[in-house]
């Protein structure tokens, strides 16, 4: 790594809300000090009996990704929660995930991620699965069989067959779908195993899965029937 480069503790903020809210989220985040973000279109997949967990249904969603140093990110997500009230059912969810240091828009370098206060034993994890177009529903089905409560599907479509979109600093071809699933830490292994078995993720070309710790979460509601 170039020793002349300086890295800071960088945090990603994920916000999932109903369509039409993305612009308001970005505007408020800008007022707090975050310079920009990215909005993806997606859809919720939680069945009616499990709505209380992620407060998502089958309507279209907007997924907003914001990035900032950890101190600003913490300040921003608290301000956003105060205004948009994620803690109320059906108002959306927001959560933060630490990353390696970031320079520019496409480069990441990492010398190990330091865990901050309250992050050594996360309660939730984010499972991200990238699969071929048309396979996302199978991912969600497999995840539910493994103990998940649903997920959010991002349709990673470009404007042309040769174009790609960038998510988590990776090229995602237009024919791909991305599935985001939040679960409790003790459920992660079972969910991943179910997805791997049903989708054959171990075979080349069938997709990839990665897991990240969720540092703080707003708007995640447990089902009373669990």
> Per-residue pLDDT tens for 57-88?
456 788 888 888 888 999 999 999 999 999 88
Give the span between the Cα atoms of 148 and 46, in whole angstroms. 10
CA contacts within 13 A on the Cβ side of 115: 10
132 domain-assigned: yes
**pLDDT value for 144:** 93
Q: How many residues does this entry show for the chain? A: 226
- Residues 64-103 as b or e (16 or more Cβ within 10 Å = b): bebbbebebbbebbebbbeebebeeeebbbbbbbbbebbe
**pLDDT value for 80:** 96
Give the span between the Cα atoms of 99 and 92, in whole angstroms. 23
Q: Please give the angle made by the CA atoms of 176, 60 and 48, to the nearest 5 degrees.
A: 110
Among 27, 15, 20, CA closest to 55 = 15
33 domain-assigned: yes
225 domain-assigned: no
- What DSSP assignment string belongs to 49-81? GGHHHH---SSEEEEEEEEEEHHHHHHHHHHHH
**What CATH number is attached to the domain comprising 98?**
3.30.70.120
39 domain-assigned: yes
Q: Regarding predicted confidence, which is higher, 161 or 194?
A: 194
214 domain-assigned: yes
pLDDT of 208 over the 90 cut: no
pLDDT of 53 over the 80 cut: no
226 domain-assigned: no
**pLDDT value for 25:** 93
The token pair that represents 165 in the structure block: 């979109």
18 domain-assigned: yes
Helix (H) or strand (E) holding 214: strand 208-214
**61 to 64, 102, 154: CA distances (angstroms):** 10, 27, 9
Domain tally, the chain = 1
Give the span between the Cα atoms of 175 and 155, in whole angstroms. 8
CA–chain centroid gap for 168, Å, is 10
Q: pLDDT (tens digit, 9 = 90+) per residue, 117-173?
A: 345 678 898 998 888 888 999 999 999 999 998 888 887 543 344 445 555 555 555
Q: Regarding predicted confidence, which is higher, 44 or 190?
A: 190
**pLDDT value for 109:** 41
Give the span between the Cα atoms of 41 and 64, in whole angstroms. 9
Give the span between the Cα atoms of 23 and 2, in whole angstroms. 37
Q: Where in the sequence is the domain holding 41, given as residue range(s)?
A: 10-218
96 domain-assigned: yes
Specify which residues 218 forms β-bridges with: 94
């Amino acid at each position: 790594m170039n020793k002349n480069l300086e890295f800071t503790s960088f945090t990603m903020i994920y916000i999932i809300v109903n369509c039409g809210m993305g612009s308001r989220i970005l505007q408020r985040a800008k007022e707090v000090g975050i310079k920009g973000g990215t909005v993806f279109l997606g859809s919720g997949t939680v069945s009616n009996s499990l709505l209380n967990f992620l407060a998502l249904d089958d309507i279209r969603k907007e997924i907003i990704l914001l990035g900032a140093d950890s101190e600003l990110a913490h300040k921003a997500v608290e301000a956003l929660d105060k205004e948009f009230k994620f803690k109320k059912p059906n108002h959306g969810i927001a959560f933060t995930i630490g990353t390696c240091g970031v320079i520019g828009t496409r480069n990441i370098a990492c010398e190990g991620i330091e865990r901050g206060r309250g992050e050594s034993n996360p309660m939730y994890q984010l499972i991200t699965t990238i699969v071929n177009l048309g396979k996302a529903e199978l991912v969600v089905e497999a995840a539910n069989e493994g103990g998940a409560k649903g997920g959010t599907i991002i349709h990673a479509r470009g404007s042309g067959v040769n174009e790609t979109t960038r998510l988590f600093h990776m090229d995602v071809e237009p024919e791909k779908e991305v599935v985001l699933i939040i679960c409790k830490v003790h459920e992660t292994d079972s969910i991943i195993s179910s997805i791997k078995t049903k989708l054959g993720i171990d075979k080349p070309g069938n997709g990839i899965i990665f897991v990240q710790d969720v540092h703080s979460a707003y708007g995640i509601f447990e089902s009373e029937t669990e």
